[in-house]
């Protein structure tokens, strides 16, 4: 279907997210086995919900200041200062982590600039870079999804403006090693390239704590948020921290785009920051182990993820492309995502284990049947 003549050329660069299409499909099915959406399945802790209700009842319903309420910024700034001890690192509260990414790319990418991303990648990255007029340069990380700093170095050109890192990663669940993160941070600093670190899954690390490139590169722009950790994806609460000159420009850009993050939920975030989510993280570690063991037992080839809540198995030999395999799964009411949505290859598929044990067990049973 051709574009409407009023639409800008940039809109032709992307289609509706493949994940969103599966989400819409799930809404039409009576009892789907939904292992498709990266959204925590646990209930928001009551203390956080009550804090949101209290803020609404206290009429905290208008705009906040663009950069976020002072109380929340102070709490976040204290945590950031304690971790990094960098005098020129400031924080901005954004309308979701996605909002933070939008601001960062729009503020820093000119038409023709190159952005290095790692394949597989989060679906938003190529579309967002393209909207800004930039070009994604992909670094292949198959088969184990490990970042190779030497390959990054080889991909740098005079047009390279940004490196975009996501660890723990969507869709693979991979947590980049300390050695690789440090090498990447030092490489970006040496070449004076912006390094944006998408750390939305930072709390979901199961085998070792995640490390941020900001530990070795004080110019790193970190994009983070509360949505995944506390199960409040619909609240659109993110934050960005980095050098004050960058954060000042992101704040100005937010004035003319998102205006501010949702005000009452910023007050609820103050309570959220004091809620212990370790039992939920432990539950997701167990789900990770359950899925990896079930896939291995069924004969799938899968790299064990270290974080997030995704597994990215390879399609069995002879089963066609990821898209073809997922189509057969959907015929059995199992909703998973073909790997081609996240990659230049269509050889894998993504499972989200942010689901009940019963749903996971049903999904593994279907996948075992598709393998036989």
What is the C-alpha separation between 218 and 87, in angstroms, rounded?
9
Q: In sequence order, what are the beta bridge partners of 92? A: 240
Q: Do 9-44+277-371 and 46-272 come out as alike in CATH topology?
A: no
DSSP percent split of the chain into helix, strand, coil, nearest 5? 45, 15, 40
pLDDT of residue 4: 86
Task: Average the pLDDT over 150-166 and give the result.
Answer: 98
pLDDT at 181: 98
Measured distance CA(211)–CA(195) in Å, rounded: 14
- Identify the pLDDT of residue 127: 93
Name which residue leads in pLDDT, 245 or 30.
245
Give the pLDDT confidence of 14-63 residue by residue, as tens digits. 776 556 666 666 667 778 899 998 899 999 999 999 999 999 999 999 99
Residues recorded for the chain: 372
What is the fold, at CATH topology level, of the domain defined by 46-272?
Answer: 3.40.640
Res. 175: pLDDT tops 80: yes
Q: Is the pLDDT of residue 179 over 70?
A: yes
The pTM assigned to this predicted structure is 0.94
- Domain ranges across the chain: 9-44+277-371, 46-272
CATH code for residues 9-44+277-371: 3.90.1150.10
Per-residue pLDDT at 340 = 95
Return the DSSP state at 233.
Answer: G
Distances (CA, A) of 253 to 63, 95, 243: 16, 12, 16
Which of 162, 87, 175 minimizes the C-alpha distance to 125? 162
Q: Pick the closest to residue 238 from 255, 262, 206 (CA basis).
A: 262
């Amino acid at each position: 279907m051709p574009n409407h003549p009023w639409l800008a050329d940039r809109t032709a660069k992307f289609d509706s997210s493949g994940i969103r299409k599966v989400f819409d499909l799930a809404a039409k099915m009576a009892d789907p086995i939904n292992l498709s959406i990266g959204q925590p399945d646990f209930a928001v802790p009551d203390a956080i919900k009550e804090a949101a209700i209290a803020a609404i009842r206290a009429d905290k319903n208008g705009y906040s200041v663009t950069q976020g309420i002072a109380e929340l910024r102070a709490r976040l700034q204290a945590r950031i200062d304690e971790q990094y001890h960098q005098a020129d690192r400031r924080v901005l509260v954004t309308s979701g982590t996605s909002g933070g990414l939008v601001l960062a790319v729009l503020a820093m990418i000119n038409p023709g600039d190159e952005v290095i991303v790692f394949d597989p990648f989060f679906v938003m990255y190529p579309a967002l870079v393209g909207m800004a007029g930039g070009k994604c340069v992909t670094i292949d990380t198959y088969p184990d999804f490990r970042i190779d700093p030497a390959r990054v170095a080889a991909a740098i050109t005079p047009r390279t403006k940004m490196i975009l890192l996501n660890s723990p990663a969507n869709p693979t669940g991979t947590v980049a090693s300390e050695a690789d993160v440090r090498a990447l941070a030092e490489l970006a600093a040496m070449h004076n390239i912006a390094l944006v670190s998408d750390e939305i899954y930072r709390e979901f690390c199961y085998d070792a704590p995640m490390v941020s490139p900001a530990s070795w590169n004080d110019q790193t722009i970190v994009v983070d948020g509360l949505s995944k950790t506390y199960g409040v994806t619909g609240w659109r609460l993110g934050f960005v921290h980095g050098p004050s000159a960058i954060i000042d420009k992101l704040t100005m850009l937010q004035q003319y785009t998102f205006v501010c993050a949702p005000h009452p939920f910023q007050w609820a975030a103050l309570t959220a920051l004091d809620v212990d989510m370790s039992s939920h993280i432990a539950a997701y570690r167990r789900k990770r182990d359950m899925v990896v063991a079930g896939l291995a037992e069924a004969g799938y080839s899968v790299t064990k993820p270290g974080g997030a809540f995704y597994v990215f198995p390879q399609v069995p030999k002879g089963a066609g492309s990821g898209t073809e395999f997922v189509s057969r799964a959907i015929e059995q009411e199992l909703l998973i995502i073909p790997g081609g949505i996240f990659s230049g290859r269509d050889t894998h598929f993504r499972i989200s284990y942010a689901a009940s044990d019963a749903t996971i067990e049903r999904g593994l049973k279907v996948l075992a049947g598709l393998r036989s």
